């Protein structure tokens, strides 16, 4: 299992990729633009990137070059063009492998497994530390004052997303997109998960230590 970042602007394709990769046991994050991908790999990190080449903000080769400028994380390029020269150029510019669209989930999984085997899953994922809280996005483990926290997948994703942005008020809309991969949804979903997470961190909304709700805006994590 690995933490995979899917970079794909087509919402339908992206949702399908997220579903396939989650089914294969990976922890999946997704973004729709190259600059968001850059921010995600530098701030949160991941074990592997699946990069669509037709993105709205940057040309595929340029996106790859910028990613390579900040991280050694393996990149599997997804291209719509079966163009040998272009593919060779991308492999030379730092792509670890490629897939020509449309590809099957099995094919994608096999390529990802092969790339991770080859690279030893050597993503440059940093540990996230906020006070006594340590979050390891790569191993999907979190400890509080040295004690392991038993978190569900969503609780972990929520905690890791916030811990990558200490002191920053994260908007609910952003949480829905990043953690739930939904463009819209009920605030209740977030509130319920926050309250479970709070309980595991040994705090309450009335007496927060790490998790602070900013009414009408969002949530932030901060060392007590």
Query: What is the binding site for Ca ion (CB under 5 A)?
Result: 9, 52, 54
Tell the smallest beta-carbon distance from residue 56 to Ca ion (Å).
8
Q: Give the 3-state secondary structure of residue 73.
A: coil
Cβ proximity to Ca ion: between 30 and 125 the closer is 30
Contact 135, 115 (CB under 8 A): no
CA distance 13 to 181: 13
Tell the smallest beta-carbon distance from residue 70 to Ca ion (Å).
22
Tell the smallest beta-carbon distance from residue 224 to Ca ion (Å).
43
Cβ proximity to Ca ion: between 19 and 139 the closer is 19
Strand-pairing partners, residue 148, are: 143
Cβ proximity to Ca ion: between 8 and 155 the closer is 8
Q: Give the 3-state secondary structure of residue 113.
A: helix
Cβ proximity to Ca ion: between 21 and 78 the closer is 78
Q: Give the 3-state secondary structure of residue 223.
A: coil
Tell the smallest beta-carbon distance from residue 130 to Ca ion (Å).
35
CA distance 76 to 99: 7
Residue nearest to Ca ion (CB): 54
Matching residue, tokens 């390891």: 136
């Amino acid at each position: 299992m690995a933490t995979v970042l899917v970079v794909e602007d087509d919402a339908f394709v992206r949702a399908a990729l997220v579903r396939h990769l989650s089914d294969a046991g990976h922890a999946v994050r997704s973004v729709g633009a190259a600059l968001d991908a850059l921010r995600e790999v530098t701030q949160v990190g991941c074990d592997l990137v699946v990069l669509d080449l037709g993105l709205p903000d940057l040309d595929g080769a340029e996106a790859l070059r910028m990613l390579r400028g900040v991280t050694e994380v393996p990149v599997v390029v997804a291209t719509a063009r079966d163009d040998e020269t272009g593919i060779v150029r991308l492999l030379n510019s730092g792509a670890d492998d490629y897939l020509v669209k449309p590809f099957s989930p099995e094919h994608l999984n096999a390529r990802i497994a092969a790339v991770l085997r080859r690279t030893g899953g050597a993503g440059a994922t940093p540990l996230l530390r906020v006070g006594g809280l340590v979050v390891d996005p790569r191993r999907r483990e979190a400890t509080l004052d040295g004690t392991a926290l038993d978190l569900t997948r969503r609780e972990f994703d929520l905690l890791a997303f916030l811990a990558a942005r200490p002191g920053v008020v994260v908007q609910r809309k952003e949480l829905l997109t990043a953690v739930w991969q939904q463009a819209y949804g009920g605030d209740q979903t977030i509130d319920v998960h926050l309250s479970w997470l709070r309980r595991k961190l040994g705090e309450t909304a009335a007496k927060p230590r790490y998790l602070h709700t900013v009414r009408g805006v969002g949530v932030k994590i901060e060392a007590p």
